[in-house]
Amino acid sequence: MSRLDRSLISGLPLFQGIAPADLDAVMQQARSLRVAKGDAIFEQEGDAHSFFLLLDGYARVVKTTPDGQQVIVRYISAGELMGIAQALGRKTYPANAIAVVDCVVLAWPGQLWAEFAARFPSFGTGTYNTVGERLNDAQTRFVEMSTEQVEQRVANTVLRLANQTGRKTEDGLLIDFPISRQDIAEMTGTTLHTVSRLLTAWEERGLVKSGRQRVTVVEPHRLLLLAEGRADKT
């Protein structure tokens, strides 16, 4: 197997300040994996044998509830860690990670996480920041589900995805991976019918443009008003 070059990770905040020789050592212990669209990178309750860095593509984190429902927890972008069960004190993965498009990931043996976190301050700090941000995001979504109207929840979710992955186009901020209305429904605890109705209404008002697994935010400020409960009916 060809040697993985440190340039794949040297520009990422997680690995800032790490000496080139140490980066080489980190990469020597990594495996490069190509994961086809729709395939699992890891599975819920599977043995957390590895942790991963997404180099290219997008992944969807999906939690299966005890009654069999699937809930989309979040999306992972290139440059982010995932499957860091060790940082949560777990021996199994808490959710599934599914490739949204064809992905390239780096995988390290799970037992190396503690070594990397202790040896490289930027990696340790970055990992704990990632865990904290995701827990905060989960708490925010819980509050939204408990207190907000459906239109607010959907608006907040679309804005979050646009801010996380948005690519500027002539029409506005395009969520830069395939996302279906059913995906948005699962993320917001509502129905496909409701999401379709809202997106159609917003499109008629010029707030968004949507097509087959594509959503573009045309008027982010007006969508923000809806997300905050300050209805913009124009």
Q: For 182-202, b where at least 16 C-beta lie within 10 A, e where not — what string?
A: ebbbbbbebeeebbeebbeeb
User: Residue 85 corresponds to which tokens in the numbers above?
Assistant: 């069960």
Give residue 165's pLDDT band: very low, low, confident or very high (50, 70, 90): confident
136 or 181, which is more confident = 181
Residue 14 has pLDDT above 80, yes or no: yes
Nearest CA to 202 out of 152, 144, 137 is that of 152
Strands 70-77 and 173-175, by their bridges, are: unpaired
16-25, 81-90, 135-144, 152-161: segment of lowest average pLDDT: 135-144
Percentage of the chain with pLDDT > 70?
A: 97
All CATH 2.60.120.10 domain ranges of the chain, comma separated, are 6-144
C-alpha 195: how far from its chain's center?
20
Rounded average pLDDT over 15-44: 95
All CATH 1.10.10.10 domain ranges of the chain, comma separated, are 148-227
Percentage of the chain with pLDDT > 90?
A: 69
SS (H, E, C) the chain: CCCCCHHHCCCCHHHCCCCHHHHHHHHHCCEEEEECCCCEEECCCCECCEEEEEEECEEEEEEECCCCCEEEEEEEECCCEECCHHHHCCCECCCEEEECCCEEEEEEECCHHHHHHHHCHHHHHHHHHHHHHHHHHHHHHHHHHHHCCHHHHHHHHHHHHHHHHEEECCCCEEECCCCCHHHHHHHHCCCHHHHHHHHHHHHHCCCEEEECCEEEECCHHHHHHHHCCCCCCC
The whole-chain average pLDDT of the chain stands at 91
**At the topology level of CATH, where does 148-227 sit?**
Arc Repressor Mutant, subunit A (1.10.10)
User: Residue 216 corresponds to which tokens in the numbers above?
Assistant: 């573009």
Give the pLDDT score at 148: 80
Alpha carbons 48 and 95: distance in angstroms, whole number: 11
Give the pLDDT score at 231: 64
Residue 234 has pLDDT above 80, yes or no: no
Identity (one letter) of the amino acid at 33?
L
Give the pLDDT score at 1: 45
Nearest CA to 27 out of 43, 40, 39, 14 is that of 14
Nearest CA to 106 out of 175, 44, 57, 162 is that of 57
Q: Which CATH class is domain 6-144?
A: mainly beta
Nearest CA to 43 out of 93, 87, 77 is that of 93
Give the pLDDT score at 48: 95
The predicted model scores a pTM of: 0.84
